[in-house]
Amino acid sequence: MARVYLKKAEKTAKTDSASVQHTVQTILDDIEQGGEAAAKSYALKFDKYDGPMVLDAAAIAAAADKVPQKLKADIAFAHENIRKFAEAQRGSMQDFEMEVRPGLIEGQRTIPVRAAGCYVPGGRYSHIASAMMTVTTAKVAGVQNISVCSPPQGDAGIAPAIIYAAHLCGADNILSMGGVQGVAAMTFGLFDLPKADIIVGPGNQFVAEAKRILFGRVGIDMIAGPTDSLILADGAADAEIVAVDLVSQAEHGYNSPVWLVTDDETLAKTVMDRVPELIANLPELNRENATAAWRDYAEVIICADREEMAATSDDYAPEHLTVQAADLDWWLERLQCYGSLFLGEETTVSYGDKASGTNHVLPTSGSARYTGGLSVHKYMKVVTWQRATRDGAKQVAEATARISRLEGMEGHARAADVRLHKYYPDESFDLSGTA
């Protein structure tokens, strides 16, 4: 059976992308030419902010005073889980040294970048968790200089809990600037920040586009744009929980797709009836976001069986993937394209988003086809080295000379020749590459 769409989206992540591209390129060009003054003028324009840019120790302490004790304990709990998971990731990356042939020694080293710029979104919600996810992984990787930028909320500046979390997790600099101007400031090294070697973190379509355009000049973790989520549910799933979980991720923004893929039409129809009721009960901002996301971006798809459900999911390559179906081990083994996988009703995307330990900065808009989410690995350069004894490199030198000559690269060949003639003056070699 072909997939049947009970609900098909009018829009996709690519809708409006051309105008976003033009807007972002213009802002980047202005800031590159106009420097700090231009960046500040965009902060004023988009975020109505005219205050201090980089927070000093007093501002950080003042922010900490405003965070309730219970929330501090929750941030500490979440930070510990994220840190432990990141440390295990770090431990899974090994330096090694091997003797490829006698006297020919080669190795791999993992070296953290020197400066990271972490984008912490803050336009619609105060993404405390994004500060924890980006800064903690950078710290565990061993990055020496970690900058954070986040949009100020008008005169009030960055939300105190974001400042508190970023500082607790190890941020060295906190910049009150969001959007394209924040990314540009960290990339170009404005406001005395070190020029970032890599920019990481999620954000809206303007932030994602800035990262796409700047890729190459600066390292980019991935393009993490508007959140998307897919739920795979069979007839045994609890329709109420499926509906609540879909709504939980539709509240991110007007353009956050949620998809339900199931082989049970009754479940699908129950969920479709329930979702609008749940959305109607949300607070105003959340309700507006989720209403538009459900109306314009959500899809409900009926498949013949679990194999077709899995294939459909892999085609969507969702950022978050939830399975509420029997035989979780089968799904874990079968599914191939997702940012983060949530197996069973007992866990949920919200846990991973906020506190369970896996990272929530994840590939969106189908990029889970080719990458995973933010991890310690993204901050690490995997580099190689070698050394050799004269005898160990003798055969390499001969092969290098002949291969180079066949390629027409005489300079390369001579770097090998000179060594063979120096170390083995009494020997003759056929290094012509034509023998």
Ligand X SMILES: O=C(O)[C@@H](O)CS(=O)(=O)O
The annotation places the binding site at 119, 181, 204, 227, 249, 252, 320, 353, 407, 412
CA torsion, points 40, 44, 48, 52, in degrees to nearest 10? 20
If one asks whether residue 218 binds ligand X (CB under 6 A), the answer comes out as no
User: Under rule CB under 6 A, which residues in 314-333 are in contact with ligand X?
Assistant: 319
Q: What is the radius of gyration, based on Cα positions, of the chain? A: 26
According to the binding rule CB under 6 A, does residue 209 interact with ligand NAI? no
319, 346, 360, 427: the catalytic one is 319
CA dist 129 and 70 (Å) reads 15
Residue 353 near Zn ion by CB under 5 A: yes
167 is catalytic: no
Residues in CB range of 216: below 8 A, 6 or more apart: none
* Sign of CA pseudo-dihedral 194, 197, 203, 206: positive
Q: Rounded CA gap, 80 and 133, in Å?
A: 11
Determine contact, residues 226/207, Cβ cutoff 8 Å.
no
Q: Would you give the distance in Å from CA 231 to the centre of its chain? A: 21
Closest approach of ligand X to the CB of residue 103, in Å? 50
Stretch that binds ligand NAI, among 3-11, 116-124, 192-200, 238-246 (CB under 6 A): 116-124
Which residues line the annotated binding site for Zn(2+)? 249, 252, 353, 412
Is there binding between residue 417 and Zn ion (CB under 5 A)? no
Which of 362, 397, 401, 431: binder of ligand X (CB under 6 A)?
362
**Other Cβ atoms within 10 Å of 81 Cβ, number:** 17
Using the rule CB under 5 A, give the single segment among 270-278, 281-289, 345-353, 379-387 that binds Zn ion: 345-353
User: Token digits for 410?
Assistant: 């005489």
Q: Is 22 a residue of the active site?
A: no
Q: Could you say which of 137, 145, 227, 367 contacts ligand X (CB under 6 A)?
A: 227
Closest CB to Zn ion among residues 245, 353: 353
Specify whether the CB–CB gap between 118 and 152 falls below 8 A. no
Q: Does 360 bind ligand X (CB under 6 A)?
A: yes
Q: Which is nearer to ligand X, 40 or 252 (CB)?
A: 252
Q: How far is CA 102 from CA 10, 82, 98, 392, in A?
A: 63, 43, 10, 6
Strands 115-119 and 4-7: unpaired
Least Å from the CB of residue 121 to ligand X: 7
Exactly one of 248, 364, 365, 400 binds ligand NAI (CB under 6 A); which one? 364
Q: Please identify every residue annotated as catalytic.
A: 319-320
Positions that interact with ligand X (CB under 6 A)? 127, 129-130, 202, 227, 252, 319, 353, 360, 362
